[in-house]
Amino acid sequence: MNKIPVGVIGVGHLGKLHAGLYREVDRAALQGVYDTDMEKCRRIADELGTKAFASIDELLEICRGVNIVTPTSSHHETALKAIEYKCHLFIEKPITATKKEAEEIIRCCREKDLLLQIGHIERFNPAVLALSDVNIDPLFIESHRLASFNPRGTDVAVILDLMIHDLDLILTLVKSRPVKIEASGVGVISKTIDIANARIQFANGCVANVTASRISKRKMRKMRIFQKNSYMSLDFADGYSEIYYIPEDDQKEFKDGTLAFSLGQIDSGEEKKEIKYNKLQREGINPLRNELAAFVESIEKGTPPIVSGEDGLAALELANAVLEKIQEHTELVAEKEIN
């Protein structure tokens, strides 16, 4: 079988990882890389043993799929250029800078019958994959994504840089539309927002409390999900999930389930209920490699991507709504100080 010819546009920190990992994707054939910084492009290409292209057109001409790992501000222009060459698209998150740009890319891909996958990598995290057999119907979600300061990424607010990972996952888990948002955030080191918190209420009643910071001394990437008869804790950094649950009558037993503790009788007629605990893991998973492999497989088989353009747009819209609420909150505080 012929391999799928792919290329990577943008070889900064993340783009270099994309290009390097393509060598581990069996069905992919990396054709080369392109970057507006040709000196860097040649250096990275030499390190990876691939070709540095002098123009984006030369790379697009020979590829069936391309990864756009450029700054968000250039996603739209680069994607439209790739669509001209009928290339399937993998676009790193966020999909674009604006809703209008995202909608145009989605529409053009649909018209040309091209695949569009967005790089929301936490969908491929082993902590998430480990819960594939769990019935998730959240009532309350709490997430914390904290990172130490790194100048890379500060051209956008922390909501688009870090929080959007959790917003995408929450939309996937809740499967309901946001109806109310309260948010606040401040810029501490950079000119954009460095730390933010949002409280999001959904039409089905679920509430999510989401915190993101890129000025934390301690790193953390965790999410907690509370629902009827169970509580789940996802550790994205270490790649595992824990679940405490009261078994249902028709529920399949999790592998290696252990009794955490037992509840006594609640009422005289109530049966004794046990709360069980499981640590759920998936071994040998590299989220980025699996993400790239899924993109290539979708091209090969003509199947829908795991993270679609519409998913990327939904996450962007929610992130922008959080940004708007932060702006409203900031203006309200400033107005009160003046008065």
| Parallel, antiparallel or unpaired: strands 220-227 and 65-68 | unpaired
pLDDT score recorded for residue 260: 73
Rounded CA gap, 168 and 210, in Å?
12
Q: What is the pLDDT of residues 84-109, one digit of tens each?
A: 999 999 999 999 999 999 999 999 99
Q: Is the pLDDT of residue 257 over 90?
A: no
Residues 153, 80 share a domain: no
Hey, which bits of the chain come out as E strands?
4-9, 28-34, 65-68, 88-92, 116-119, 140-146, 178-186, 195-202, 207-213, 220-227, 230-235, 240-245, 258-262, 274-281
Contacts of 54 (CB under 8 A, 6+ apart): 38
Residues 158, 81 share a domain: no
C-alpha distances (whole Å) from 277 to each of 191, 232, 245, 263 are 44, 10, 7, 13
Residues 144, 214 share a domain: yes
Q: What is the pLDDT of residues 213-253, one digit of tens each?
A: 999 988 999 999 999 999 999 999 999 999 998 887 766 66
Of 257 and 209, the one with more pLDDT? 209
Residues 191, 147 share a domain: yes
Of 150 and 158, the one with more pLDDT? 158
Count structural domains, the chain.
Answer: 2
Domain boundary among 114, 136, 153: 114
pLDDT score recorded for residue 41: 98
Most confident of 132-141, 262-271, 310-319: 310-319
Domain boundary among 114, 141, 171: 114
Residues 47, 9 share a domain: yes
Q: What CATH number corresponds to the domain at position 15?
A: 3.40.50.720
Is the residue at 274 inside a domain? yes
**Which helix (DSSP H) or strand (DSSP E) does residue 167 occupy?**
helix 164-174
Q: What CATH number corresponds to the domain at position 252?
A: 3.30.360.10
Which residue range is the domain that position 184 belongs to?
124-281
Residues 138, 276 share a domain: yes
Is the residue at 89 inside a domain? yes
Is the residue at 213 inside a domain? yes
Residues 79, 16 share a domain: yes
Is the residue at 293 inside a domain? no
Most confident of 199-213, 244-258, 321-335: 199-213
